[in-house]
Each structure stands twice: as C-alpha cells, then as structure tokens.
Structure 1
Amino acid sequence: MKKTILTTLLATGLMATGAQADEAIELKVLGQPSATGLIMQEKEKPFFETLAERTGLPLAVNFKPLDSTGIKDVEELRTLKSGLFDVVSLRFSQVSRDEPTILGLDLVGMNPTYEAGRETVDAFGSVVDARLQERFNTKLLGVWPFGPQVLFCNAPIEKLADIKGLKVRVYDQNLAAVVESAGGIPVPLSFGEVHQSLALGVVDCAITGPSSANSAGWPEVTTHVLPLAFQMAINGYGINLDTWNRLSVTQQKTLETAFAELTDDIWEYSEELFEDAKRCNVGESPCDYNKSFNLTEVPVTEQDIAMVRDAVREISYPTWAEICDKSNPECSSQWRAALGEKLGF
C-alpha cells in the first residue's frame, strides 16, 4: 500500500523545475558504521539499496558504511556540506562539536524512555533542522534513536558512584561532564576504538546502547553492565541542500515520505533490539536478535536514577547552554521555549 501511494504521487506529474522524471538522480550515501550493528545492517542499508524501487524515483544510490571510507564520525557535517556525499546518516553526539544545537535533542537525563525521546524530537527537531540548513547546507530528513545508552565496565561495580577514579569512554562533552561529576575520568573515543581500548585497559568502562555493544563484542572485554539510561543516542539523516533543490517538489515529497517510514520503523525496531540485547548481554532468554553473553547486571539504585534525572538541570543543560550560546545566541532560549516547561525549567 505504501509503495502504491508513493508511486501514485510520482505519477501525478513532476514540477517543471528540479530533476525530471527520466533523469538519473545520483545519491552518494554515507551510512552508520557497520560495527554499530543491526539497525544499520537490517534497516538502514536495505532501505538505501532498495530506495529506487521503494519510491519509483530514478535513483542511482551508492551506499557506503562510515567505517569503510576513512572518514571520521566527527567530520560528517563537514563532509555533507562539502557535497562529497549527498545523504549522511548523522551521528548527532559526535557531530555536535561542529553544531552544539544538535545536542539539545539528547542532553544527559532528558530522554530516559523512547516516549520521552519522541516528544523531544517533535518539540526541538525543527530548530535543529533550521540551524543545519543555515550553517551546513543540510536538511534533516528524519531523526531516530539507537536507544538508551548504558554503562559497561571491566571492573566490578555495584552502583554508578563506583566509577570514581575509573576511565570511562564518552562520545560528547555533555556526557563527559556528567561522568566527571560522578568521579569518573571521561575519555573521548570513537566507537570503533572502544573494544580494543577496553581489552588493553586504556579505559575501564564505556557507554553505548546494549545492542551496539553486543554487535561490537564489548561483553567479551567487560564484566559488568549497569542498565541506567544516560541518553537516547539520537541520530538523523541529512541531505545536502544543493542535492535537495535539484529535485522537483513532487520528488521531494516522495523522498520525505520514504524517510518518514524508515525512521518510524527504526524507532520501533530500536526498542525491540534494546529489550532483547539487555537480556542477551546477561545470559537471559529470549535472546532472538543478539548474541548471548554472561555479564553481571548491576541493579539500578534510586540514587543512580536521581543522579541522571537531576543532571539535566544541574549539569547537562548548564554545560551545554554555555557552549551552545557562544555559537548560536538563541540556542538555549529556543530550547527552553520548546522543552523547558516539560522538564520543569
């Protein structure tokens, strides 16, 4: 039915401007790293490989995972702005140094559940989109989560406070500030570096989603997992505006519809993977999508929950707002207007 609707949209006729119906539209796509696991392998890659058939558009899609290109995740916005790729699966936390406004979608403590994450995206996503269009010649085509980010350690811990003195892998400045407040030593590392760093003792702990950790083999080099949600790991698809503007209005609408279907699918799949990987990592059943390991699950205490929840007001928002307002003077005021009431500001 969805494919029929899309095909019908296309058949209604293309606008005179933009790419014509018989013109081949080349899309160079930079995807998530293969090592991040099943969302990339089962949803993202198949979507782009079948996008022409799915939409009826005359697309020639060349899809490459990030870790096959030599491009670093922190360079994705610059890569997209330059036109080297037409579409990029943006790792929001990693590119937030280039555009801090992005991190307002996923401050530590503000998205403890999938429902909260969707509400945040609905409220603040348009602000991020406008900023990316202005500064990086990039339009957002969809936003989705890897899922709650939790703590893995190769040292015995019984609560969050036990990371005091331990080196903890982090992926953005906001998370680093919270880890530091708990007494940990934040160490910025790209995802692909973490497994070896844990094995060699470069870091003692690391934070990511249960399914991504499972796919990357983190339970092979860790012993304990604390399933406390720090962030939701929000990501999104960006398209270069020059590429976008070469499309007709009808083609644009068709592409937007396809990406909306993809991101809705990923939201649902991400939650299924999260619950499955939580069980698999500690040797519980059912374990349908991920590998079974035997980590020790550390009970989440009320004190742990309160610390992360309160981090929004006490640490993550003030830390982020100061940085973001330096590059975008309206950053924190727009965030408070969109989300402040919901979060008690």
Structure 2
Amino acid sequence: MKTLHLLAAAALALGSATAQAQQPLKLRVAGNFVAAGLLQQQKEQPFFDNFAKVAGLPVEIDYKPMDVVGVKDVDALRVIKSGLFDVVALRLAQASRDDPTLLGPDIVGLSTDYDTARKVWDAWRGPLDQRLQERHNAKLLSVYPFGPQILFCKGAFTSLADMKGKKVRVSDQVLAKFMEKMGAIPVTLAFGETQQALERGVTDCAITGPSSANSGGWPEVTTHVMPLGFQVHQVAFAINLNKWKAMTPDQQAKVAAAFQKFEAEAWAYSRELWDDAARCNVGKECRIGKKFALKEVAPTAADRQLVADAVRTVSFPLWAESCDKVYDKCSSAWKQAIGPMVGLK
C-alpha cells in the first residue's frame, strides 16, 4: 500500500510538472521608446511580436513601449524590481541615475565605436548581471547600442574648442562634466524635447546618434555635425529575477538563447542604420533614412585626443567616485574587467 501511495504521489508530481511546462509562459514587457526610432520599430518590436517562434516556446507576450504606458526611463530599475513588468528595457545612461554601475561600459571616451563597444560590453556583462541580481532583483538578458553619439549644432563650428559658452544637450552627468571641462554649458534634456529646444534656442548643440537624429528631425533645426563619437548609448533588457527563477531550466535556456539571437541582429542593424543615417544627414546617397544637407565638420587631431583622454581625465574618476558610493566594489570590478583595454589598473 505504501508503495502505491509513493507511486501515486510521483505520478501526481510528474503530471503537475508536465502541466506547468505545457502552460504558456506569460511575459509583460516594457520596451524602449517608440521615439527611439527604427531600432525599436524594425528590430525590437518584431522580436517580441514573434518571440514564441524565435524561442521555440509557448509564450504570451504583452509588449508595450515605455512611452506608451507612461514608464520613465529613469525609473526602469525600480519598475523591474517591483515586478510591475517582467521584462524591462534599461536605457543605461538614464537608468544609471539609480545605479551608476549601468554606465560602466559607456563612460565618455571609452566606447566610441562599434568594435570597441562590443569588447567593452562583453567584459562588463558578467559584473553588471551580478549587480542587477544582487541589488535590483533582475537578470540581464541582452543589450543593443544606438551607436557612436555625435555632435549636432545650430550654427557653424570648427572644433570642440568652439563649444565654449554654448549650451549643449547631454543625457548623463559624466557627459555633462566633460562638456563643462570644454567650457560648454550642459543641458540635460529628454530626447523627445531636444528638437524643439534646438529650434527655440534653448540649446545650441546636442549629442545623439545619426539615426536617432535623422528620425527625430534634428537636421531640420541644425546646420553642422561632427562625426566624432563620445559614447554609444546602450539599451539592455533584463527580466525580473522572481519571474526568471519561476521558469523551468528549459524555458530559461530558450529565453536566453532568443535574447542572444536578438542581440546579435540588433548590433548588426544598429551599425547599418548608423552608417546610412550618417550619409543621409550630410546629403550623401542613402537608402533608409531621410536625406538632409548638414555640413560635416571633420574632427581635428586635438578633438580626437581630447575624447581619448577623457576616460583618464574626466569620466572614469567622476564615474568611479559616484559608483563606489553605492557599490563599494564598483571601480575595482571595472578596473579588472575593462581597465586593461585602456591601460587603467
């Protein structure tokens, strides 16, 4: 009789596990802004719309961009920690206000081109995932970049030295300090507010990627652009850790594989968009974006050196100080993972 009870209990447990595995996985997703442009529209949203097919799982996805559901990018870490959404897009520069660890792979002067950004990100993936799990009840899934962030201005300029006295739109405090060092007046503005600010003279210049500028209409209200990258601006996707742990190992493996496939495709498409928009903005032949007629300002050797030196002189010291205040292992983890790439020990 005892054996029969054990067999019955085992069968019940197996049946329960099988039923759980057959039930569709449900994920509520707060994605990147619609205003982010083609990366969100052509890669991110289609990925989630077809997630069940890509992952090879029965999945029900409720995908909504953050600007559609009223989630602010600066609140993303709090949103995912609370479980309000299961998967959340973390715009790293903006979300770093709650935890500077997120800005580690993208401080000014570090990731200024795609190849370098890829190496830096791969080095920081582990430390950031650990931090998200320990502090924010989240697990890192993937990241994609908008590409090198460059300078657009309303009015002529010949070098970064000309930024002295000009109001320049920035997106994070490290970039703000870098602009201050050049004598500029940093103005922190949301992307969606910047075109109007440029048009009305609230700001003289602004920094973003060529594709974002193109889709956001910045070339309509600016005249000059310098194709020198300061940072690349990345968007990571993370999942609420409780939701992740509730999945079966098979579900976890398939979800992780789907996000890695998306990551590879998004990086490639980001570079394609960047190159195309860079040509579009200055009136050259292009096929994706809208053609404008900005004047391209070639960076001087001094400009390139200024940005290259920024990691040592401005961005790392400032970032390390703020990050170590909230996470005492922050700068030491960075030096171990990324430091050798830039000669910082």
TM class, shorter-length: over 0.9
Alpha-carbon offset, residue 18 of structure 1: 10
**Residue 239 of structure 1: aligned partner:** 239
Alpha-carbon offset, residue 223 of structure 1: 0.9
Alpha-carbon offset, residue 56 of structure 1: 2.7
Which amino acid in structure 2 is aligned with residue 310 of structure 1?
Answer: D
The answer (yes or no) to whether the contact 1:281–1:295 under 8 Å persists in 2 is yes
**Residue 332 of structure 1: aligned partner:** 331
The answer (yes or no) to whether the contact 2:282–2:291 under 8 Å persists in 1 is yes
**Residue 69 of structure 1: aligned partner:** 69
Partner SS state of residue 110, structure 2: coil
1: CA distance, partners of 2:239 / 2:16? 22
Q: How many residues align?
A: 331
Partner SS state of residue 27, structure 1: strand
CA RMSD of aligned residues (A): 1.6
The answer (yes or no) to whether the contact 2:73–2:91 under 8 Å persists in 1 is yes
Moved more, 189-198 or 328-337: 189-198
Alpha-carbon offset, residue 93 of structure 1: 0.4
Alpha-carbon offset, residue 17 of structure 1: 6.4
The answer (yes or no) to whether the contact 2:104–2:334 under 8 Å persists in 1 is yes
Which amino acid in structure 1 is aligned with residue 302 of structure 2?
Answer: Q
Partner SS state of residue 239, structure 2: strand
Gaps of 5+ in 2: 1-13
**Residue 110 of structure 1: aligned partner:** 110
Q: 1:91 to 1:15 in 2, by over 3 A?
A: farther
Please state if 1:303 is matched with 2:302. Answer: yes
**Residue 278 of structure 1: aligned partner:** 278
How far does the alpha carbon of each residue in 1:246-301 deviate from its partner, in whole angstroms, 9 at most, with x for none?
1100000000000000000111111111111110000001x111110111111111
Gaps of 5+ in 1: 1-13
Alpha-carbon offset, residue 20 of structure 1: 2.3
Question: TM-score, normalising length from structure 2?
Answer: 0.93
The answer (yes or no) to whether the contact 1:18–1:246 under 8 Å persists in 2 is no
**Residue 5 of structure 2: aligned partner:** none
- Once the two structures are superposed, the pairs formed by residues 166-315 of structure 1 within 5 Å of their partners are 166-285=166-285, 287-315=286-314
**Residue 319 of structure 1: aligned partner:** 318
- Once the two structures are superposed, the pairs formed by residues 136-147 of structure 1 within 5 Å of their partners are 136-147=136-147
The answer (yes or no) to whether the contact 2:141–2:256 under 8 Å persists in 1 is yes
**Residue 127 of structure 1: aligned partner:** 127
1: CA distance, partners of 2:176 / 2:18? 44
1: CA distance, partners of 2:161 / 2:231? 18
**Residue 10 of structure 1: aligned partner:** none
Which amino acid in structure 2 is aligned with residue 122 of structure 1?
Answer: D
**Residue 78 of structure 1: aligned partner:** 78
Please state which structure has a larger fraction of its residues in helix: 2
Q: 1:119 to 1:15 in 2, by over 3 A?
A: farther
2: CA distance, partners of 1:195 / 1:138? 34
2: CA distance, partners of 1:18 / 1:81? 29
Question: TM-score, normalising length from structure 1?
Answer: 0.93
Alpha-carbon offset, residue 156 of structure 1: 1.5
- Percent identity, aligned pairs only, is 52
Partner SS state of residue 128, structure 2: helix
2: CA distance, partners of 1:233 / 1:147? 7
2: CA distance, partners of 1:202 / 1:246? 49
Which amino acid in structure 1 is aligned with residue 35 of structure 2?
Answer: A
